[in-house]
């Protein structure tokens, strides 16, 4: 294996992004997820 990939929540309060970056991972792609609450009657 020559490389590895993973996904991380950048708003993770435990600092997961910093942990992975400190291990040498580099962000190569970012995704936006939009949410909207649904009103249930």
Convert the pLDDT of each residue in 16-38 to its tens digit.
Answer: 888 999 999 998 888 888 889 99
pLDDT band at 9 (very low <50, low <70, confident <90, very high): confident
- In the numeric block, which tokens belong to residue 34? 């939009």
Indicate the number of domains in the chain. 1
Return the half-sphere exposure (C-beta side, CA atoms, 13 A cut-off) of residue 8: 19
How many Cβ atoms are within 10 Å of 20's Cβ, its own excluded? 14
Task: Work out the widest C-alpha separation in the chain, in whole angstroms.
Answer: 52
Task: Give the Cα separation of 24 and 17 in Å (integer).
Answer: 11
* pLDDT score at 22: 94
- In the numeric block, which tokens belong to residue 4? 């590895």
Task: Give the Cα separation of 3 and 30 in Å (integer).
Answer: 18
List the domain range (segments joined by +) for residue 9. 1-41
């Amino acid at each position: 294996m020559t490389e590895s990939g993973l996904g991380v929540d950048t708003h993770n309060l435990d600092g997961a992004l910093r942990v992975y970056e400190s291990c040498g991972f580099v962000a190569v792609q970012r995704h936006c997820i939009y949410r909207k609450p649904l009103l249930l009657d």
